[in-house]
Amino acid sequence: KKNIAVMTSGGDSPGMNAVVRAVVRTAIYLGCNAYCVYEGYEGLVRGGKYIKQMGWEDVRGYLSEGGTLIGTARCMAFFEREGRLQAAKNMVLNGIDALIICGGDGSLTGADRFRSEWPSLLEELVSKGDLDQKQIEPYKHLNIVGLVGSIDNDLSGTDATIGAYSALSRICEMVDYIEATASSHSRAFVIEVMGRHCGWLALMAAVATGADFLFIPEKPREDNWKEEMCQVIKQHRNMGKRKTIVIIAEGALDKHGNKISPSMVKDLLADKEGLGLDTRITTLGHVQRGGSAVAYDRMLGTLQGVEAVKAVLEATPETETCFIAITENKITRKPLMAAVKETKEVAKLIEAQRFNEAMALRDTE
């Protein structure tokens, strides 16, 4: 009987509970034992009460709960080999055959690193006398599958990450609330939304709420952005609009790589010499991660959780580590590292652009 463990890691996202429920129940349904690792990699490193066998009823009610009920953490110890050694030892001592990890690109990078080091970790544990040869024999190959849980929708190779549509829905709901009061007082609001290096949430929220202006990292603003924004907003006001909504992603940049902050935008809108609008800043913050998952994320978490269990059961030592994606509405398996690498390259491109242009500026000073 195979022992399959599931854990959630990194930033929490709505829909992670659907994943845990689906993995636990699919594992049991297919004749395996199901385990949860609590508190992400921290639980794997600590072992003991952090690794718990789960029954069918233990995940009852999970679908409609927000956040992650089995906890998540950022774990410094897992960045060190010593921490990963401890994690490997706990996996073997608990007889875990396969690990399903739901997290962002950081967590999935950690997972791939763990798998590639696995044989040498076991060897070291044996040479140190922590485990004996017979104990490690059934665990020569580490079976890992990733699921992408992130509100940012920031991983290459999948159309949607688990949690992104819940966060987007929450943002739209909040913008609707703000619009009502903005209209009443004829005010302008600068609304900052999450997304780290990715502007997906900001872009889709702007589309879905009909915002007046938008700042995202993928489209660094030209030098004339101030004039451009004022002109657009003035035009909207001239057409009789009583409210102004500007959405700004937390990673928003100008083309020189300088951050565009909500207060810069606010000062501009409020400038008495210019538009002179009564302007407020609203940073939506953690409400974007909270609350229960929308139907799409419950569905995505469940279907991908089922697929993840199938993937670990079908894996052979030759199989490349995969993650579960959704591509053109189909649940698919894809090589994990290629997607993480591609994601990093996109982020790097933005970084490189910031750097080069900042350097160019300095040269011409």
- Whole-number Å distance between alpha carbons of 184 and 162: 36
> How many Cβ atoms from other residues are within 10 Å of residue 291's Cβ?
16
Sheet holding 330-335, edge to edge: 51-54, 33-37, 3-8, 98-103, 143-148, 322-327, 330-335
| 332 burial level (CB within 10 Å; 0-12, 13-18, 19+) | middle
Cβ proximity to ligand ADP: between 277 and 339 the closer is: 339
Cβ proximity to ligand ADP: between 99 and 269 the closer is: 99
Question: Cβ 206 to ligand ADP, closest distance in Å?
Answer: 24
Half-sphere exposure at residue 198, Cβ-oriented, CA atoms within 13 angstroms: 20
Cβ proximity to ligand ADP: between 223 and 351 the closer is: 351
Question: Cβ 163 to ligand ADP, closest distance in Å?
Answer: 10
Question: Cβ 107 to ligand ADP, closest distance in Å?
Answer: 3
Cβ proximity to ligand ADP: between 270 and 347 the closer is: 347
The answer to whether 133 and 122 are in contact (CB under 8 A) is no
Tokens representing 84 are 């990963």
User: Active-site residue numbers?
Assistant: 152
Cβ proximity to ligand ADP: between 79 and 296 the closer is: 79
Question: Cβ 322 to ligand ADP, closest distance in Å?
Answer: 17
The answer to whether 200 and 154 are in contact (CB under 8 A) is yes
Letter string b/e over residues 38-68, b meaning 16 or more CB atoms within 10 A of that residue's CB: bbbbbbbbbbeebbbebeeebbeebbebbbb
The answer to whether 256 and 358 are in contact (CB under 8 A) is yes
Question: Cβ 128 to ligand ADP, closest distance in Å?
Answer: 21
Interacting residue ranges for ligand ADP, rule: CB under 6 A:
9-11, 41, 74-75, 78-79, 103-107, 109-110, 113, 150
User: Rounded to a whole number, what is the largest CA-CA distance in the chain?
Assistant: 79
- Whole-number Å distance between alpha carbons of 27 and 203: 38
